[in-house]
Amino acid sequence: MRAHAKRLGIDPKRIASGGAPQEDLAATYNEQFKTRLSDCVRGPIEKVSPFHYAKEKPPPCIMFFGTDDPLLLGAEVPRNASTAARNQCNIITYRGQGRGFFNLTREAGNYYKLAVAEMDKVLVSLGWLKTRSQKG
């Protein structure tokens, strides 16, 4: 994206991505998931995980987990690696929630709005998003 930023009309210094941690990323840190991936990945599993590039100053990271999500423990490894490399990487947890608890569904209730508010805080802290009082 940075290489094509001008053509795409984007600021190459303000590129963010999002998504939910999946089993491919967790496989790097969790033997239970590593077995599932062995047929899908050619070469070292670590090559599919952006968390192995923490030393290369990746974009700021925020991860959302329910405390009942089995991948939460694995997320602490990349968070710690990023923090050690002086990168911003935070884990926000929600008590008693499992996988996908904040997806935009009726069952998600208020968790979707809570997660979006946390994402907004990160974007404001980076100066990428203005608060209503700053717009005014």
Q: Which domains does the chain have, with CATH numbers?
A: 21-135 (3.40.50.1820)
H or E element: which one contains 48? Answer: none
Q: Report the pLDDT averaged over residues 31-39.
A: 54
- Tell me what the mean pLDDT of segment 76-99 comes to: 84
Q: Report in angstroms the alpha-carbon separations of 114 from 23, 63, 98.
A: 24, 13, 15
Query: What average pLDDT does the chain have?
Result: 75
Provide mean pLDDT across the span 38-59: 60
pTM score = 0.67
How far apart are alpha carbons 63 and 121 in whole angstroms? 13
- At 40 the three-state DSSP class reads coil
Are 126 and 60 in contact, with CB atoms under 8 Å apart?
A: yes
pLDDT band at 14 (very low <50, low <70, confident <90, very high): confident
**The pLDDT value given to residue 100:** 79
pLDDT score recorded for residue 47:
59
What average pLDDT does the segment 64-84 reach? Answer: 82
**Nearest by Cα to 94 from 74, 77, 76, 110:** 110
